[in-house]
Structure 1
């Protein structure tokens, strides 16, 4: 009989094969799961090198997969010097003079966490122009939604201090994503952060051709430095969908740790900004969507990708966009009525049951941001959406229950850095539907069970990245990507669930995080 490297014993094992919890033990040998067994550990499995963990009732799960992350956006928060502690313009000048002296060979000067009082400040703007008349300088406020910048930066990068959304920042990505002294360490810390939250796989978004970051992925993969499995997608921003790039990436990346996953594209925008495309007008108006959406061009790009057997995920916030996306997907290649290529829809804020059934029938998966209710109070959620879309539509906002009941396979996502992955948060805000004030539950009829939530983070998420054959469940032959919570997550009262932490994360049979 095989001698195990690791044995994890617990009375709360969630395999994600079904909703049954097993009291027993998981046996790991090398990078694989040998099996999960009920009852007491067989002594013949234990050798001199075996590590046996008796975990009591602490829950064991398959490793978590976040199906929508954005490292190039996350890392902007750490780009350049941190100016959070700067109190006045004089101190800012001293710090910038230091940058001028020590960053003379750099292509641009960046900074982060600049206090808001320095934004829209003519004294600061003059300071940047005087110190850096030719070199681009951009100092971001925390969250990098706004910044201060000089004229050289405006001319070089094409964005403005008021418009610093991720898509607008694509021209600076070729600078910092190729600064190996900076980006390698940041990527290592990024993976550590994900591992500490139980995340062992992600589907990463990268603009256009990723601006050279694929070289980092290749080096990390070749040198066994990855503790997170990466499926990356190209999101067209500065150019249209580049099929030849995808074909190249598909050949270059064929390991179990890095693969090219296809293409991602935006459609409509925020409902509260009236940029979400609705099937019926916004409340009290004749407006369906303030944003111009070229569905014909989107269809051409999706069908071209589908023809070349690449996958697409499209963003949908309003039920009108949801309907149009399904019409596009319905034109893609099918096998026995279901899509040949595994396309998805992300966000899914407002949907209608008849289209949910169509989505399930086509085999389109959904990516959901279940932690989103943490961002505002119950009263604000109700007031803002009632005013914008009325009571009936507000009540079916984020209706994950209806999507699942109509047969849609839902995968967990965060749109990181919008949210950071946290399964306890996902349960609290997505299974109980509490809001920021933690007092009242909103749209409680739309919630899903803890079992369903864990499946969204495990087997369904691996389905979304086409890795369900080797990941996503605890069963013999699967790779040993596992997470252990510090308690029984099923028996924890909801008011205590946010106190839950990851105790250990295992990737490919190796412990990559331990509390």
Structure 2
């Protein structure tokens, strides 16, 4: 590999965070041929600059490597835009009229889909009106936020879910219809890339069910056409069948290019503590006979993980309760490890809502990666969240909620995810919550002793994410020779008061040295 001796672009800033461990500094980042030519403190050397070099003076704005979101569901996100837009309808009668008119524009027999109606205001009464209007033609209308849907009996029979089970794993049989509609899904993914770039995100780890229902062909074609502005590592999540190793081998062999890679397997273990579905070591306060209200096939998960590990693939297991986290670590202890006892295949745990400090120490020694949700407090309020914790597990155990401080102190490598569309990437917001410990309304921080520092969190979004994706040699830090994936925030994230961090926003994003987003 060789790059030019002079820069095509030079970014100048008083706040450059290179992600290598040193403090932010006043200096420059020189870019040429899609890679970082040089990074340094002080003025950019004249030898790197020609009359053709573009100099971008960013003042006190924060320059860092591009951000990596390690837990996204584009497929879940896109269901919020599928079919006819119902966001402006004012009544159930208007929904019916709008959907009837839309259905007439579709080919006969094609399911009728819609999105965006307000479930807080409108309350459709079961499937009957849709049954009467559409008969045996499936109709599914997703509410804004995706928390429920209005669907007819034909749709429930065809796709085997109901409004009460309207979440991605349940409507997996509908996804081939949506992902197979190339005229819809390719423009949607292009729009999705623009959204992510506008948030400074340059790499993602995407979750796809089973064989991703052919969506990898879309990714392959976009990469071939040099149309990707987002690096995509994708995982297969077994839903309709168990882990498919032949598919994993095929995907690993197929994607060896610049932008798309296969990253392994993903699976849920337990569920939400608020619904008594988090797997706990001790019973729930409100249900003394219950440590988990759902059945979890730990034998299947363990056997599957070991089979995947034996072929050199990695697994990301989603765990929220302290018992679930402990059991996942028990499984990872049976996987291949190096001479220091650390897992070889970069296995990870996602979420880690409520953990036992002893298990976090074990996690660090095992080399298991944490995929934390640093914005998760943004969807809660202090009174509601603390009341839930008090009711379910009590505040004595609640002091171990979101214990990212212990993870960092135990040597756990941190990376950041959003579970998008649950959350949409907002790095300044993540600082407000995961460094400040604040709920959206502000006030007293929650579990302040468990929070990270700004440099630790920024490192997790950049270098930690790159390591998670196995791309730390090319991405994640601002160092000469690495790919020029760069994000710029509108101010100095390291000096602004944490309670004001949300006032910042991404103003510039580069992928491979090309500007893919620039604020007005």
State the secondary structure of the residue aligned to 1:93.
helix
Q: Which moved more, 1:350-359 or 1:364-373?
A: 350-359
Q: Contact 1:3–1:45 at 8 Å: present in 2 too? A: yes
Map Cα deviations across residues 441-500 of structure 1 (whole Å, 9 max, x no partner): 101001100000000100011111101010000001110000111111111122321110
The CA RMSD measured in Å over matched residues stands at 1.3
Is residue 462 of structure 1 aligned with residue 466 of structure 2?
yes
**1:422 match:** 426
Shift of 1:154: 1.1
Residue 390 (structure 2) aligned to one of 386, 391, 394 = 386
**1:488 match:** 492
Q: Contact 1:77–1:142 at 8 Å: present in 2 too? A: yes
Is residue 505 of structure 1 aligned with residue 496 of structure 2?
no
**1:36 match:** 39
Map Cα deviations across residues 396-449 of structure 1 (whole Å, 9 max, x no partner): 111000111111111011000010111101100000010022122101001100
**2:226 match:** 224
**2:145 match:** 143
Residue 447 (structure 2) aligned to one of 425, 438, 443 = 443
- Greater than 4 Å deviation, 4+ residue runs: none
Shift of 1:113: 1.4
Distance (whole Å) between structure 1 residues aligned to residue 452 and residue 207 of structure 2: 27
Shift of 1:21: 1.3
Residue 101 (structure 1) aligned to one of 101, 104, 116 = 104
Distance (whole Å) between structure 2 residues aligned to residue 438 and residue 461 of structure 1: 28
Q: Contact 1:119–1:147 at 8 Å: present in 2 too? A: no
Map Cα deviations across residues 227-260 of structure 1 (whole Å, 9 max, x no partner): 0000000000011000000000001111121000
Residue 27 (structure 2) aligned to one of 19, 24, 29 = 24
Distance (whole Å) between structure 2 residues aligned to residue 256 and residue 100 of structure 1: 41
State the secondary structure of the residue aligned to 1:102.
coil
Residue 327 (structure 1) aligned to one of 322, 325, 330 = 330
**2:82 match:** 79
Number of residue pairs aligned between Structure 1 and Structure 2: 513
In the superposition, relative to structure 1, how do residues 168 and 493 fare at CA in structure 2: closer, same or farther (>3 Å)? same
Distance (whole Å) between structure 1 residues aligned to residue 480 and residue 44 of structure 2: 16
Shift of 1:271: 0.6
Residue 363 (structure 2) aligned to one of 353, 359, 371 = 359
State the secondary structure of the residue aligned to 1:140.
strand
Shift of 1:353: 2.0
- Give the TM-score normalised by the residue count of structure 1: 0.97
In the superposition, relative to structure 1, how do residues 105 and 35 fare at CA in structure 2: closer, same or farther (>3 Å)? farther
Shift of 1:338: 1.4
**1:173 match:** 175
Q: Contact 1:378–1:441 at 8 Å: present in 2 too? A: no
Is residue 243 of structure 1 aligned with residue 245 of structure 2?
yes
Distance (whole Å) between structure 2 residues aligned to residue 2 and residue 100 of structure 1: 59
Distance (whole Å) between structure 1 residues aligned to residue 123 and residue 22 of structure 2: 52
In the superposition, relative to structure 1, how do residues 45 and 19 fare at CA in structure 2: closer, same or farther (>3 Å)? closer
- Give the TM-score normalised by the residue count of structure 2: 0.96
Distance (whole Å) between structure 1 residues aligned to residue 131 and residue 281 of structure 2: 49
Distance (whole Å) between structure 1 residues aligned to residue 97 and residue 390 of structure 2: 50
State the secondary structure of the residue aligned to 1:333.
coil
Shift of 1:14: 0.2
State the secondary structure of the residue aligned to 2:440.
coil
In the superposition, relative to structure 1, how do residues 90 and 273 fare at CA in structure 2: closer, same or farther (>3 Å)? closer
Distance (whole Å) between structure 2 residues aligned to residue 86 and residue 65 of structure 1: 37
Shift of 1:103: 0.9
State the secondary structure of the residue aligned to 1:411.
strand
Distance (whole Å) between structure 2 residues aligned to residue 91 and residue 213 of structure 1: 34
Distance (whole Å) between structure 2 residues aligned to residue 184 and residue 49 of structure 1: 36
State the secondary structure of the residue aligned to 1:260.
strand
State the secondary structure of the residue aligned to 1:458.
helix
Map Cα deviations across residues 315-364 of structure 1 (whole Å, 9 max, x no partner): 11011011110110000011112112110000111112221121111110
Q: Contact 1:107–1:175 at 8 Å: present in 2 too? A: no
Residue 395 (structure 1) aligned to one of 376, 395, 399 = 399
**2:51 match:** 48
Residue 6 (structure 1) aligned to one of 3, 6, 9 = 9
